[in-house]
Amino acid sequence: MNNNLIQYIYGIADNSLILGQRLGELCGHGPSLETDIAMTNISLDLFGQVRSYFQYAAKLQGEDVTEDSIAFLRKEREYKNVLLVEQPNKDFAYQITRQFLFDIYHLLLLSELQNSKDETLAAIAKKSIKEVSYHTRFSSDWMKRLGDGTEESHNKVQTAINDLWEFTDELFHTTDADKVMISEGIGVDVSLLKELFYKKVNEILEEATLQTPDIKYFQKGGKQGIHSEHMGYLLAQMQYMQLAYPNMNW
């Protein structure tokens, strides 16, 4: 069993899982019916990707491991998502900014991952890339609408970008498992995506008449399983059924 590969898969899939979960909380509460439906589509895409990754990770582990035991039965420290995606749904400006920052990163990651030597990961990436291209279009368009909309929306989205900026640097950190996978031609060296990420983000921010934050201090930890205070509550909900009624079929 290749533990590094499994950890590597978690590192990618947990981002989609936790962001999908956050978006799921919004269903039925969107600013318009149309926007509500659109955000749910993104959530569904992300959960679809999660299932592909976890089914693969479960197959690698055999025994009693399933996509659901991976999704629902790990301890908080075992989830390897970045801090960005677990940030709460404070308002629409935060939701869109969080989405936008993640989408730009996600698209760059998948563009590389589709060349992975691991055929399954490459295939998942190829399929997901179409979905994530659309997510990027959706969130970029909304960044522009909010940034160059009214004074109120401009201020709200500028606050969101200022607050969430400190979570961007972590996207480009590599874990020990990442390093092994990179050396084997399976993993993507995300540190190489950093420059392009900030370039693309800045282009949209400029079009959206928003300021790129000038921040030198960043938060990290998610990739090591050290999360923010928000994570425990998110997991408490997500794992509620599995913990309250262990070992049952649903």
Partner 1 sequence: MSDREVKNLEEMFDAKIARDEKIEPKDWMPEKYRQTHIRQMSQHAHSEIVGMLPEGNWISRAPSLKRKVALLAKIQDEAGHGLYLYSATETLGISREELYEQLHSGKAKYSSIFNYPTLTWADMGAIGWLVDGAAIINQVPLCSTSFGPYARAMVRVCKEESFHQRQGFQIIMTLAEGSQEQKEMAQDALNRWWWPSLMMLGPLDAESIHTEQSMKWKLKRKSNDDLRQQFIDQTVPQAEMIGLTIPDPDLKWNEEKQSYDFGEMNWDEFWQVVKGHGPCNKERISARVNAWENGKWVRDAAMAYAEKQENKVVKQAI
Partner 2 sequence: MKNWPLWEVFIRSKNGLEHRHCGSLHASDATMALENARDVYTRRMEGVSIWVVPSTEITASNPDDNAEFFEPASDKIYRHPTFYELPDELKHM
Subset of residues 147 to 176 that bind partner 2, contact rule: CB under 8 A: 150
- Please report how close the Cβ of residue 11 comes to partner 1 at its closest, in angstroms: 18
Q: Distance (Å, rounded) from C-alpha 38 to C-alpha 44?
A: 10
- Residues near 100 by Cβ (< 8 Å), separated by ≥ 6? 136, 139, 140, 142, 143, 201, 204
| Region from 14-22, 130-138, 215-223, 229-237 binding partner 2, contact rule CB under 8 A | 130-138
Residue 137 makes contact with partner 2 by CB under 8 A: yes
Q: Distance (Å, rounded) from C-alpha 45 to C-alpha 110?
A: 14
Nearer to partner 2, 39 or 171 (CB): 39
Q: Distance (Å, rounded) from C-alpha 29 to C-alpha 222?
A: 28
Check the CA dihedral 165-171-176-177 and report its sign.
positive
Q: With CB cut-offs between 5 and 8 Å by kind, which of partner 2, partner 1, none does residue 129 bind?
A: none
Subset of residues 72 to 101 that bind partner 1, contact rule: CB under 8 A: 72, 91-92
- Please report how close the Cβ of residue 54 comes to partner 1 at its closest, in angstroms: 7
Residue 211 makes contact with partner 1 by CB under 8 A: no
User: Is 57 in contact with 9 (CB distance < 8 Å)?
Assistant: yes
Q: Which of 4, 7, 16, 21 binds partner 1 (CB under 8 A)?
A: 21
CA 158 to chain CA centroid, nearest Å: 21
Subset of residues 27 to 66 that bind partner 2, contact rule: CB under 8 A: 32-35, 37-38, 41
CA 126 to chain CA centroid, nearest Å: 17
Subset of residues 108 to 147 that bind partner 1, contact rule: CB under 8 A: 144-146
- Please report how close the Cβ of residue 143 comes to partner 2 at its closest, in angstroms: 13
